[in-house]
Amino acid sequence: MRPVAILGIGQTKIDEHWDKSLKELAGEAAFEALKDAGIERADSLFVGNMLSPLIDRQNQLGAHLADWIGMWGAEATKIEAACGSGAAAFRAGLTAVAAGEAESALVVGVEKMTARAGREVTSALATAADADYEVEQGVSFVGLNALVMRRYMHEHGWKHADFAPFSINAHANAMHNPFARLRQRITAEQFEKSSMVATPINLLDASPIGDGAAAAILVPAEKLTGRRIVVAGSASATDTIAVHSRRDPLFLSAAYASSKQAYAQAGIDAADVDVFELHDAFSIMAALSLEACGFAERGQGPRLGLDGQIQPKGRVPVCTRGGLKARGHPVGATGMYQIVEVVQQLRGECGETQVDGAEIGLAQNIGGSGATILTHILRLET
């Protein structure tokens, strides 16, 4: 397998794009990535998306987008892995280029979620849970995370207020990201007084949905000279879909397994990571991800936030462009937004939230409540 590098990136602002269709959003990000890469088309196309059959009544997204952007005749495939669809598509494109099956791959993550009523979107998102033993019993996706958070607080003695730094940091960073949906600061007091969604998760624990697309161009690293960003590690792992079936519901075993494999491929460990774009769909997931990936001891994830270590100048900078919490969470596109944001950090393009000297970035995308987890490590080479 040959080394692969990222040649170009593109993204749209996450918002309620009433005037743009699914293919128009995807095309906008795709064209930006092609322009950034300095090429007109790629050999292959991989599209990450979760909800298009349920919300947009559209399948065949590979061919649909290839037709829209003028990539007629190219291999084009849609990849679905719930909220991990973006990173799963990235891994598919990476594999194609690394294996020599393609000389270039355009990967696009896209989702359009705001054109339907909230109850329809909630029902569609619930398809990432176990239909027989979770959805059938009436538990929502946020309800599952609330149950995990409640048990975590009970086991480890944390209060709800102890999770506030995750959301505060995300919003502070989103202030400097023009593509983010929620570009406003929040305070600890606002966090605590926010409306309850599913105890103990309130509105400011949870990420907002939205419409958006993000894209990247992958090519063999050998074709690039000078500074380049290579994919140093890529791994995917799974756990049970149903949370209650897990050996330990408070540990993301798929995050542990995929990060361990990616670290080994890159020849690094957690201490070498300069920036971590984690999947903070809910604040509890931020804590669990930090623990599973080796940045905190079991039960001590919130401590990093309370000690100020997750900020851009901290020991473990996370969600430096706003994360899912403030940048927004257009589910099938989220994994590609994370890739794009790590690339921006390694290029030194993040302005006020730039991590000094960033050379190694970690992006971790989670499907469902931890059933599918993909970990990618990007490295700046000179």
**Active-site residue (options: 83, 293, 319, 350):** 83
The residues near 231 (Cβ < 8 Å, ≥ 6 apart) are 3, 4, 5, 6, 94, 218, 376, 377, 378
Q: Which residues pair with 4 in a beta bridge?
A: 220
Based on the residue annotation, tell me whether 83 is a catalytic residue of this protein. yes
Number of Cβ within a 10 Å radius of residue 224:
16
Instruction: Please state, in angstroms and rounded to a whole number, the distance separating the CA atoms of residues 81 and 102.
Output: 23
Edge-to-edge strand list for the sheet holding 228-238: 75-79, 44-48, 105-111, 212-220, 4-11, 228-238, 372-381, 360-367, 275-277
Helix 331-347 / helix 85-98 crossing angle, nearest 10 deg: 60
CA atoms within 13 A on the CB side of 347: 15
Question: Where do we find the tokens 């000279």?
Answer: 225
**Active-site residue (options: 17, 329, 350, 376):** 329
Known catalytic residues are 83, 329
